[in-house]
């Protein structure tokens, strides 16, 4: 059986222990706590850098407007905002599709604003001129 003396000889000294703990950096936010010991809220910059994914249900016709001919509109949306964006495949018998947009919060906000504006204004800038009626369908506008 080993004596307490043996264990102390193998134990790290205070400096080594402090360095080991500092290198852990488990959650990344441990250094940002308020006077009450609670984590501080994120800054605007931290929120802007945070990555998230938002999904929306869109009709198949709206999905066509969002995607555009040959995927041009969704590609332009990605290029303009820096988000990852896509629309789910068609499922037989299902009339809705899922729009998925992932990226930073500011980029996602901008992407959804572009999509909403395009759908509400008839999507001329997204390549499919027309109007969106109150029931969510897309119809061609008069020339």
Reported residue count of the chain is 143
For residue 98, the surrounding DSSP H or E stretch is strand 96-104
CATH (one of 2.40.50.100, 3.30.1370.10, 3.40.50.300, 3.40.50.720) for 51-139 = 3.30.1370.10
pLDDT tens, position by position, 116-136 = 988 987 655 444 444 444 455
**Residue ranges of E strands in 17-140:** 51-59, 84-87, 96-104, 131-132, 138-139
pLDDT tens, position by position, 76-114 = 999 999 999 999 999 999 999 999 999 998 899 999 999
Q: Identify the bridge partners of residue 33 per DSSP, sorted by sequence position.
A: 39
Q: What angle do CA 75, 132, 140 make, to 5 degrees?
A: 85
Q: Structure pTM? A: 0.57
């Amino acid at each position: 059986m080993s004596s307490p003396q043996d264990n102390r000889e193998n134990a790290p000294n205070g400096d080594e222990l402090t360095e080991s703990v500092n290198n852990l950096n488990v959650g990344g936010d441990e250094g940002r706590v308020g006077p009450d010991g609670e984590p501080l809220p994120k800054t605007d910059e931290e929120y802007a850098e945070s990555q998230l994914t938002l999904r929306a249900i869109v009709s198949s016709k709206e999905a066509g407007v969002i995607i555009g001919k040959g995927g041009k509109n969704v590609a332009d949306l990605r290029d303009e905002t820096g988000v990852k964006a896509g629309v789910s495949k068609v499922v037989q018998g299902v009339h809705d599709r899922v729009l998925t947009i992932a990226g930073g919060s500011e980029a996602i906000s901008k992407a959804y604003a572009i999509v909403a504006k395009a759908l509400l204004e008839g999507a001329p800038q997204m390549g499919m001129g027309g109007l969106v009626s109150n029931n969510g369908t897309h119809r061609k506008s008069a020339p």
